[in-house]
Amino acid sequence: MSDNILTLRNIETYYGPILAIRGISLDVQKGKIVTILGANGAGKTTILKTISGAMVPQKGKIEFMGRELQKQNPDWVARKGIAHVPEGREVFPLLSVQENLLMGAYVRKDKKKVNEDLEVVYDYFRVLKERSKQKSGLLSGGEQQMLVLGRAMMARPKLMLLDEPSLGLSPLFVQDIFNIIKRLNTVQKMTMLLVEQNANMALQSSAYGYVLENGRIVMEDTCENLMASDDIKEFYMGIKEEGVRGKRRWKKRKTWR
Amino acid sequence: MEFLQVLITGLGQGCLYGLIALGFVLIYKATEIVNFAQGDLLMLGAFFAVTYIGILDLPYWLGFLLTIISMAVFGYLLDMLVIRSMIGESQLSIIILTISIGFILRAVAGGIWGSDILSLETPYSGEMANIEGLVIGQEYLVVIAGTIVLSVILFLFFKFSSLGIAMQASSQNQLAAYYMGVPVKRVFSLIWAISALVAAVAGTLMAPISLVDPQMGFIGIKAFAAAVIGGFGSLPGALIGGLIIGISEQLAGTYLPTGFQEITAYLIMFLVLTLRPKGLFAQIQQKKV
Ligand SMILES: Nc1ncnc2c1ncn2[C@@H]1O[C@H](COP(=O)(O)OP(=O)(O)O)[C@@H](O)[C@H]1O
Ligand SMILES: [Mg+2]
């Protein structure tokens, strides 16, 4: 037995006639942060939506803690312990910050512990405590990102799916968000599948990484090795090294720029 | 004195409009469907009440309770078996569907209960309240009291119960609600159940005042105007819209030449749409689906 909490095998998902991800296989180990890197349109969001049941794969198998997930509804998947933090800060705009957080705990039965967790979340995100009574639609983008992260924590999930949590945030907020992601992983032992375009931050926070291009996984390795790879440095981290190799090794380099 | 009497009659009538408007808004906020059969749900509720209380001779409160339960079940099933299958179809086909449901309900009601005009006897029928020399039919006071009680219950439910908050959440951001583990489809059916329940209360309260016949659901057209006035997205707005129409109608009927009463609702709707196109209580946020 491995200690994989989530495995995907040969997943293919379509938008109508368009094949968005092709033959995706990946593993997430318990207690680890695993990252998927890829440019805009590579298929990162589609992978997460397929895991959480918002999209149904045409082919392949998804296994989460011994249960098959493909063909299940998103609410079922959520009840089994996967918290999906979608891209674009999907708050409930007319509910207060606190109501949003409590919605995160909607499926939990241990209502007493929920209140303790609320304090934990407020401890992670001080600004949310200050604004607990405000309508969440009035928060800034960075605050909303904190809210959706905190809301996912309230579910006490066994696995978090994070879709580009740093997108569109100012550098200061980006640093904050990644600090919190790391703290969640080390302190709460939270397992996470993190999707990012910000390769720098993602590789520094994660243990293992997959590189996605046009719906296919083109590379996978420990983040340490990925960070040392010239291709990753050049095309994802923006570090250009002098040398002959790494010029045109990937055919579609224009797509990752 | 006459003015006060007109005011109270208008308030009572306005409460009925408001309750139906509430049903419109509840369903629209959650599913973006305008349920043009909302008035006919009221009609069906009134027939249930007449059947349980008038025909089967059950005690009033038991009959009331059974009416509410029957209509809630009816609303739930209507969504689950009919409306849900239309998800993804164009707005127009869904509108046509809800209009047709109205036709069908009227035809079925006519078939079952006949076109005889029925009315509902209540424990308070025909009694007059005498408040400081002011004589008012109890029926209107009961309508007002019933509306207040129901509104308070709904307010507490949506504000404090976890199901009520989940309903708000599902209305504001469907996919995110799914991700929280909310069974959104079932929640939407429950919202239909609540709308039908509210219509049933309105129908039961209206039955002693008006006559119960298959056409009584046309009150829904004025209630629609009330919902528009309220901004078609706000529950308090819907109620207030109803009150505005109810009271202005009675005032127009009393103090303006004949004919004005019937068009008051539409005149006000027109005015509001011209001056404040989003209604009086438009909500700030665009919803996400
Ligand atoms: N709603 C949609 N309809 C059709 N095609 C889509 C839709 N959403 C995404 N796609 C396509 O699927 C591919 C993967 O998209 P996505 O998973 O959103 O990428 P990423 O999250 O990596 O930016 C893209 O080529 C995109 O054009
Ligand atoms: Mg994406």
User: What's residue A113's pLDDT?
Assistant: 93
What is the rounded average pLDDT for all residues in chain B?
89
* Residue A7 to chain B, least CA–CA distance (Å): 20
User: What's residue A2's pLDDT?
Assistant: 66
A104 within a domain of the structure (yes/no):
no
Rounded mean pLDDT of B93-105?
94
User: What's residue B126's pLDDT?
Assistant: 66
Q: Are A70 and A52 in contact (CB under 8 A)?
A: no
Per-residue model confidence as pLDDT tens digits over B168-188? 999 999 999 999 999 999 999
Is it the case that residue B130 has pLDDT exceeding 80?
Answer: no
pTM metric for this prediction: 0.89
The residue ranking higher by pLDDT, A32 or B277, is: A32
Cα separation of B183 and B189, whole Å? Answer: 10
Question: From atom 1 of ligand 1, which residue's Cα is the shortest distance away?
Answer: A15
A246 within a domain of the structure (yes/no):
no
User: What's residue A37's pLDDT?
Assistant: 94
Q: Are A219 and A210 in contact (CB under 8 A)?
A: yes
User: 10 Å Cβ neighbour count for B245?
Assistant: 27
Q: How many helices (H) and strands (E) does chain A have?
A: 10, 10
A77 within a domain of the structure (yes/no):
yes
Give domain limits for chain B.
2-214
Residue ranges of the alpha helices (H) in chain B? 2-31, 38-49, 60-77, 91-113, 138-160, 162-172, 174-179, 184-206, 219-229, 235-255, 260-275
Per-residue model confidence as pLDDT tens digits over B7-26? 999 999 999 999 999 999 99
Number of domains in chain A: 1
A74 and B178 in contact by Cβ < 8 A?
yes
Residue ranges of the alpha helices (H) in chain A? 44-52, 74-79, 97-104, 111-124, 126-130, 141-153, 171-187, 199-205, 223-228, 230-235
Cα separation of A105 and A92, whole Å? Answer: 14
**B182 Rama class: left (phi>0) / alpha (psi -120 to 50) / beta:** beta
A221 within a domain of the structure (yes/no):
yes
In whole angstroms, what separates CA A183 from the centre of its chain? 15
User: What's residue B129's pLDDT?
Assistant: 66
Query: Which residues does chain A have within 8 Å of residue B288's beta carbon, measured at their own beta carbons?
Result: 90, 93
CATH of the domain at A65: 3.40.50.300
Q: Nearest by CB to A90, which of B166, B175, B283?
A: B175
Query: Which residues does chain A have within 8 Å of residue B183's beta carbon, measured at their own beta carbons?
Result: 73, 75
User: What's residue B133's pLDDT?
Assistant: 65
Per-residue model confidence as pLDDT tens digits over B21-76? 999 999 999 988 999 999 999 999 999 999 999 889 899 999 999 999 999 999 99
Residue A8 tokens, joined: 């995907």
Residue A83 in contact with partner chain B when CB distance is under 8 A: yes
User: For each successive 10 residues of chain A (257 residues), what is the average pLDDT?
Assistant: 87 94 95 94 96 95 94 94 94 96 93 93 94 95 94 96 91 89 94 93 94 94 88 73 47 44
User: 10 Å Cβ neighbour count for A159?
Assistant: 23
A179 within a domain of the structure (yes/no):
yes
A98 within a domain of the structure (yes/no):
no
**B259 Rama class: left (phi>0) / alpha (psi -120 to 50) / beta:** left
Question: From atom 27 of ligand 1, which residue's Cα is the shortest distance away?
Answer: A41
How many residues in chain B? 289
User: What's residue A250's pLDDT?
Assistant: 47
ipTM of the complex as predicted: 0.88
Rounded mean pLDDT of B103-128?
82
A231 within a domain of the structure (yes/no):
yes
The residue ranking higher by pLDDT, A240 or B199, is: B199
A245 within a domain of the structure (yes/no):
no
Residue B178 in contact with partner chain A when CB distance is under 8 A: yes
Is it the case that residue B211 has pLDDT exceeding 50?
Answer: yes
Query: Which residues does chain B have within 8 Å of residue A103's beta carbon, measured at their own beta carbons?
Result: 165-166, 169, 177, 180, 182
User: What's residue A239's pLDDT?
Assistant: 66
Domain that includes residue A42, residue range: 4-88+158-236
Question: From atom 18 of ligand 1, which residue's Cα is the shortest distance away?
Answer: A45
User: What's residue A249's pLDDT?
Assistant: 47
The Cα-based distances of A219 to A212, A235, B173 in angstroms read: 7, 13, 35
Per-residue model confidence as pLDDT tens digits over B221-264? 999 999 999 988 889 999 999 999 999 998 988 888 888 888 88
User: Concatenated DSSP letters for B191-219?
Assistant: HHHHHHHHHHHHHHHHTTTS-B-GGGGGH
